[in-house]
Amino acid sequence: MSREKQGREEIAGGRRMARRDGLAVLGPAPLFVLVEPQMGENIGATARGMLNFGLSGLRLVNPRDGWPNEKAGAMAAGASIVIDQTRVFESTAAALAGCQYVLATTARPREALLPVLEPAAAAAEMKQRIGRGETCAVLFGGERAGLSNEDVMRADGIVSIPVNPAFASLNLAQAALIVAYEWAKADGRAAPASELDIAIPAPREDFERFFDHLVAELDKAGYFFPEAKRANMERNLKVAFMRAGLTEGEVRSLRGVIKALASQRGGADK
């Protein structure tokens, strides 16, 4: 089966479906660096969220349970291509080697004099820089302690996700998902899943003929009563139908509806 065909079928089959070559379509994107992550499940979920939104470069600094991690692999499921390429480092400094622009995610911006960006602005900034050939990385702290001040100070800026101040318990994988999502939006590569043809409204005269037909049948049925209210009643009905922006096919269907409803008289006469 050709690669393209295979991709098509998998996607047509539903939502999921990692293609083995899921990375082939990905362009350059930020690296995600998890500093002292604890639970394999969260590493795996982060990998999934990354691949969902077109990122694949994952680096770990001293994962608590070592590496490779079975639970990470299980949770990553179809995103094992991210897990398989994950690199492990002994210090944040080592993990950031070669990076030109680094952002640190924290829920509470520190007193540090770093610029604070919301995820969308952070993604836009990275998109620009990556376009210029820079390597960008986003640091995420472990579940327990978040990022140390020392690690935050390695960054050029802070990404802060605006959460409900009364309940700000985003976990590692959720924070990564949102940054990845904003990256995909900024990157513009994640195609909107839709290929819908937008409905084209029927020509005006078709609509008018439909509406005249409706009014004529309603007249026969004595709908416009009292006569003084006719103009208002007609106008209100027309506005409702106009708002729908009916297509040609829909106008045809509705004329069929009128005919069917009105023709009951014929049926009763027989």
Residues from 99 through 128 that contact its own copies (CB under 8 A): 106-109, 111, 113, 116, 118, 120
CA–CA distance, 190 with 131 (Å, rounded to integer): 16
Contacting its own copies (CB under 8 A), which of 34, 48, 60, 210? 48
Q: Does 148 bind its own copies (CB under 8 A)?
A: no
Contacting its own copies (CB under 8 A), which of 67, 148, 247, 248? 247
CB 262 within 8 A of CB 220: yes
CA–CA distance, 91 with 68 (Å, rounded to integer): 17
Q: Does 228 bind its own copies (CB under 8 A)?
A: no
Closest CA to 142 of 133, 151, 153, 154: 151
Binding mask 174-213 for its own copies (x = CB under 8 A): x--xx--x--xx--xxxxxxxxx--x--------------
Q: Does 44 bind its own copies (CB under 8 A)?
A: no
Closest CA to 190 of 8, 53, 36, 50: 53
- Least separation in angstroms between residue 168's CB and its own copies is 4
CA–CA distance, 219 with 214 (Å, rounded to integer): 9
Residues in binding contact with its own copies, number by CB under 8 A = 104
Q: Does 226 bind its own copies (CB under 8 A)?
A: no
- Burial class from Cβ neighbours inside 10 Å (0-12, 13-18, 19+) for residue 149 reads exposed
Closest CA to 106 of 67, 59, 163, 49: 163
Contacting its own copies (CB under 8 A), which of 169, 204, 227, 228? 169
Q: Does 132 bind its own copies (CB under 8 A)?
A: no
Q: Closer CB to its own copies, residue 97 or residue 221?
A: 221
